[in-house]
Amino acid sequence: MSSVRLKYQTIEFSSMDIHIRSLRDAQEFSDDEKIAEKLGISSATWPLFGQLWDAGKVLANYMYTYEVENKKILEIGCGMALSSLVLNERLANITATDYHPEVESFLKENVKLNNSKKIPFERTAWTDKNDSLGTFDLVIGSDVLYERWHIEELAAFINMHVKEHCEIIIVDPGRGNHAKFSKLMETLGFSFIQFKAKNSEKYLKEAFKGQIIKYSR
């Protein structure tokens, strides 16, 4: 990682500040040991984990006030894990997961930047059947419906890691795949509602054009 340039920024949530170390831009790349390549991560997609995307900011702002007491929470495809960092500051029971091999080191560094307690992390793919994550009351994710061929894998992964009565919250920027995913979730016994993020123009350059989808069972 010595060849990549980094950026430090502070994201404000009312009375809470979250400090983030991320990649400087989406052109950074470092895979000297071919670890990401062996996992099927191309040089073009490698830097995407290290950016703060609008959908992730929307999810983090939603989590800032969401009722999380006594809930065991999992963030999937966490990337920079902004929502996990917010929930960690709220002393929530949060675990993060992602497929990218560099996510864990960035998460550890960002936890240190915020002087927070350790966030449990496990690197796993949505097709893995032998992870040690367990089951959760609430699963959250932002911009995870980016490829149509991932939809069935994601639904199966979520269903494997939730309790009988649970919630799933997905922030989707509008890639056109949420309808198929929602229909599949219905076959697994979930009902859902979708709605716009409130006041997103206050923390984004413009109002978020996507939506928040909440599934429950």
Whether pLDDT at 37 is above 90: no
Asked if residue 80 lies in contact with residue 8, where contact means CB atoms within 8 angstroms, the answer is: no
Q: What whole-number distance in Å separates Cα of residue 47 and Cα of residue 50?
A: 6
Domain range summary for the chain, segments of one domain joined by +: 6-29+42-216
pTM summary value: 0.96
Percentage of residues in the chain with pLDDT exceeding 90? Answer: 87
* Cβ contacts of 9 within 8 Å, gap of 6 or more: 19, 20, 22, 52
Convert the pLDDT of each residue in 46-75 to its tens digit.
Answer: 899 999 999 999 999 999 999 999 999 999
pLDDT at 2: 59
Q: Is residue 36 predicted with pLDDT exceeding 90?
A: no
pLDDT tens by residue, 204-216 = 999 999 999 999 9
| Residue 149 pLDDT > 90 | no
Q: What angle do CA 40, 22, 82 make, to 5 degrees?
A: 90
Q: What is the pLDDT of residue 1?
A: 57
CATH number for 6-29+42-216 (one of 3.40.50.150, 3.40.50.2300, 3.40.50.720, 3.60.9.10): it is: 3.40.50.150
Mean pLDDT value across residues 12-39: 92
